[in-house]
Amino acid sequence: MKYYAAFLRMLDVQKSQEYRPQHLDFLVQNEKEGRIFARGRFADGSGGLVIYIAESFEQAQVLAESDPLIVNGARELDIHEWDMKTAK
């Protein structure tokens, strides 16, 4: 499995607030299914980050694109494979 960092840049604050409950449900469900390594919002309100666990970029992209914030145009998605390193 690989890690993919999905940056969710804010596009529409109103839509973001409207679809936040569905977004959180989406995140919780995918965490339970082992598809999310970490997640959180940016303190400056510019968006957030979700690190997905997937077998391929395509799989991670399909998953990230199904987030209600992306589906409904509240956020813009920018996704990259993340080569995670741990501190020694």
Owning domain of residue 54: 2-82
Residue 51 lies in a domain: yes
pLDDT single digits (tens) 36-64:
999 999 999 999 999 999 999 999 999 99
Could you tell me the strand order of the sheet in which 2-10 lies?
36-41, 47-54, 2-10, 75-82
Residue 88 lies in a domain: no
Q: pTM score, two decimals?
A: 0.92
| Percent with pLDDT over 70 in the chain | 100
In the chain, the N- to C-terminal Cα span, in Å, equals 22
Residue 87 lies in a domain: no
Residue 26 lies in a domain: yes
In the predicted structure, residue 87 carries a pLDDT above the cut 90: no
CA distance 10 to 74: 7
In the predicted structure, residue 88 carries a pLDDT above the cut 80: no
CA distance 2 to 37: 10
How many domains would you assign to the chain? 1
With cut-offs at 50, 70 and 90, classify the pLDDT of residue 85: confident
Q: Quote the tokens at residue 47.
A: 């968006």
